[in-house]
Amino acid sequence: MKPHAKPPIPVALTIAGSDSGGGAGIQADLKTFSALEVFGTSAITCLTAQNPDAVTGIEAASPAMVARQIRAVTEGFPVAAAKTGMLYSSAIIRTVARELSRRPRFPLVVDPVMVATSGACLLRKDAIHSLCTRLLPMATVITPNLQEAEILSGLSIRTVEDLIRAGREISRRYATACLAKGGHLPGNKVVDILCVGDEVTRYTLPRTQAKGTHGTGCAFSAALTAALASGSDLHEGAAIAKAFVSQALRTGRPAGRHVPLNFLGS
């Protein structure tokens, strides 16, 4: 008897920077994809020399090389969803937008990575305009943290209600969904907000007292991308992403003096 054929595995693409410390960026994305049983592919936009304490160097890939990576992946695999992370420059953003616009449309999660937790700038100031005009309108969903939501909405955020107003403004401004993360707001619960036009959904979990939070934004957007690639809708995907990050924080184990996320969740 012939063995039963195994079902195909969903494929996801991450377009982002490399984190030499392994806890964020491309490395976090691929670990998250694997943990959620999605085959991960990548297009690397930048090399960074970093660990959870600091980014000590950034070297951008050429836009042409970024384009070649995207073409190689999308021509070789049936990409079911993609995400963007650190894009760094206006030229890379324009290249990514152009290459994705030439492909059959699939869900696109845009994590508007601007500043590292350590304070290092991961998006040039002159690239913000390109991000807002070229890439954000192509997104299925945008996943800003509090600081990024303030920049994209032009609003100050101090409370959950402020976060809702900012999420609605981003959704309206870019005609797409906005999943604004409230982890930087005070309180013993973390509330994330999904805004699709005027529709607002809250996702609330108890705050995890973790020593290390490096890479949480990358893991969240990657988990959402994996869920979309596997067939979840946006609301279910948001719940999956939030639960995944909470578990990864809660079960983190020391790696030297750092406590990275536990992408296996156990």
The catalytic residue positions are 181, 213, 215-218
Indicate left, alpha or beta for 265 from its phi (over 0: left) and psi (-120 to 50: alpha).
left
15: CB partners within 8 A, 6+ apart = 42, 43, 45, 66, 70, 82, 83, 84, 85, 87, 96
* Rg (the chain; Cα; Å): 17
The helices-and-strands tally (H runs, E runs) of the chain is 8, 9
Q: Please give the Cα distance from 193 to 98 (Å, whole number).
A: 29
Q: Please give the Cα distance from 195 to 166 (Å, whole number).
A: 9
Q: DSSP assignment of 3-49, as one string?
A: PPPPPPPPEEEEEEEEETTSSSHHHHHHHHHHHTT-EEEEEEEEEEE
Tokens 């976090």, located at residue: 28
Which pair of structure tokens corresponds to residue 159?
């409370």
